[in-house]
Amino acid sequence: MSFRQAKWSEPLIFERSKPGKIGFTLPEPTEEEKKIAGNVAEAIPKSLLRENLVELPEVSEVEVVRHYIRLSQQNYGVDLGVYPLGSCTMKYTPKITDVIVNNHKLRDLHPYQDEEFAQGILQILYELSNYFAEILGMDKVSLQPSAGAHGEYVGVMIIRAYHALNKELDKRTDIIVPDSAHGTNPANTTMAGFKTVVVPSAEDGTVDLKALKAIAGEHTAGFMLTNPNTLGVFERNVAEIAEIIHNAGGLVYYDGANLNAILGKARPGDMGFDIAHINTHKTFSTPHGGGGPGAGPVGVKKELEKFLPVPTVEYNGEKYYLDYNKPYSIGKVRGFYGNIAVLVRGYAYLLLMGAEGLERVAELSVLNANYVARKVLKAKGYTLPYKPENLRKHEAVVSAKQMMDETGVRALNVSKRLLDLGVHAPTNYFPLIVPEALMIEPTETESKESLDELINAFIKVSEEAYSNPKVVLDAPVNTTVDMVDDVKASHPKTMRLSWRMLKKHGETK
C-alpha cells in the first residue's frame, strides 16, 4: 500500500497576480442594450458606489485553471478514497443529485419570487417535509435550520417555549445529556439558557438508568439523546428512558447525527422522542465538512407543532404556500426558507433510494462497521471498550490506549500515519469517555475492497508501531502538508482566513 499526495509550490491566486493580465473579457453592450439600460452608474445610489476597484487577482485563464487543479491534487475528499469519519457520515453522494440541483429551473429561483410562480419548489419542500416526518415518526417538520447543530438549538428552544407556555420555565432549568453526547448538545443547552446535567454511561455504553432516575425530577426540562449513540451502541432501554423523562415532566430530544444507522428500521417518534432533527447533509446526500453547506430539519409531535419556526410550507388542496400565522412559534431562525440546494439534493436522494433502498443503507452501514471493527481488533494495540462482544451499529469507537502504553504511539499518530497510506483519518479523541479514541464509521457506500484497504491500513500502522514506532510518530510524510501545529492552526491570533487578513497580519510562523 503506497500513497503520495501531489506537492506543488503553489502560491495564493493573489500572489500570481500581475497588472494587466486578463482571464476573461465581457462583450461590450450593444447600442440597443445601452439605450434600454441607460446610465447604470447613475441608477445606483452614491452611497453604494465603490470608491476603489475591487481587489481581484489579475491572472490569465490558464493560470486560474492550473491553480485550482493543483489545489485539488493536494486535497483529499470522499470522491478520492475511503473516508471513515465517525459520527459524520461522510459517504459518497450520487452525482445525479448535483446535476438535478444545478438545473436552471432551480438555480435561477429567487427567494422573493411570488408564491404563484414558485409552486414547483414549494411542492418539493412540502413533500420533503412529509417524507422526513414519516422517516422520523413525527407529525410535522420544519426545513429551516441550517445544520445539525442549528437543528439542535431549534429543538431546545422548542423545549423552552413548551415550558414557558405551561408556566414552568422558572423551575425547569436542566437539560440532561449522556457523557457520550456530541459537544453540540451541551453547547446548545447553554445557548438556550438551560443548565447541562450529565448522566454517566453504564458498562455496556448505554445510559445508566439508575443514575438517570436519580437525576430526573422537577427541574428537568428535557433530555438529549443520540441513538445509536456516539459509541455506535443502540440504546436498547430508550423506551424506558423516555418514560422516565416524561414522568418527570420533561421532553425527549433525538439528536439525528446517527440516523443513517436506523433508516427504515426504527423511528425516533416510535421510541418516545418528542423532537428530532435530521442532518440532511449527512444522511440524505451532500457530504459536509469545512463548515457547510448543511441543513438540519426539525420534526416534532403534534402537541409541539405550534412552536416550530416560521414559515412552514403548507398545501390547501389547490396551492402550496408559506404559513407565517403561528403565534406560538419560536420565530424565524434563518433567512428565507432553508438551505434549498441541500434540501433538494436530499429530496432527489430519497426518490432515488425509495423505502427499500433506505432500509438497505442501514443494513450495509451496520454490516460494514462491524466487519471493519472485528478485523481491526485482531491487530495488536487496538481494543473496543464497553462490551466488545456486543455488535455496534454504523460506527465503532476503537481505543489505541494499549498501543500508546506499549509503544508511545497515540491515536493522533495512528490517524496521521493513515493519511500516509491513502486513508482519511477517523474522528480522534471522541467520545471523551474512550481513552485514545478512534471513531470508525465506514458507511454503506464503501465496497468490500475499500473496506479491506482501510483495515489493512490500520493493521500496517499497528505493525509499524510495534516494530519501528518512529515511522508512525513522524507521520505524515506523504501528504502535501506535514504535521501542523494544532494551536496555531486554530487560534484566532494566528489564523488567516482571507487574503485581506494575510496582507494585514502576514504569514503565521
Q: What is the dihedral of CA 428, 76, 338, 124, to 10 degrees?
A: -120
Q: Give the containing element (helix H, strand E) for 178.
A: strand 174-178
Do the beta carbons of residue 235 and residue 213 sit within 8 Å? no
Q: How far is it, in rounded angstroms, from Cα 279 to Cα 276?
A: 10
pLDDT score of 392: 97
Q: How many angstroms separate the CA atoms of 48 and 120, rounded?
A: 35
The string of pLDDT tens digits covering residues 128-138 is 999 999 999 99
Predicted pLDDT of residue 1: 65
Question: Which region, left, alpha or beta, applies to residue 249 given φ > 0 means left and ψ of -120 to 50 means alpha?
Answer: left
- Which is higher by pLDDT, 41 or 348? 348
> pLDDT-derived band of residue 317, with 50, 70 and 90 as boundaries?
very high
Q: DSSP string covering 322-371, please?
A: EE---TT-----SSTTS-HHHHHHHHHHHHHHHHHHHHHHHHHHHHHHHH
Grid cell locating 217: 425530577
Q: Contact at 8 Å (CB) between 287 and 281? A: yes
- Give tens-digit pLDDT for 61-110: 999 999 999 999 998 888 899 999 988 888 888 999 999 999 999 999 99
pLDDT of residue 54: 86
Beta strand segments in 209-271, E: 220-226, 251-255
CA 465 from centre of chain: 32
36-50, 112-126, 348-362: segment of lowest average pLDDT: 36-50
User: Which pLDDT score is estimated for 458?
Assistant: 98
Query: Which single residue is written with the C-alpha cell 403534534?
Result: 302
Could you say which DSSP state residue 34 is in?
H
For 108-134, the DSSP string reads T--TTS-GGG-HHHHHHHHHHHHHHHH
CA 47 – CA 56 distance, rounded (Å): 22
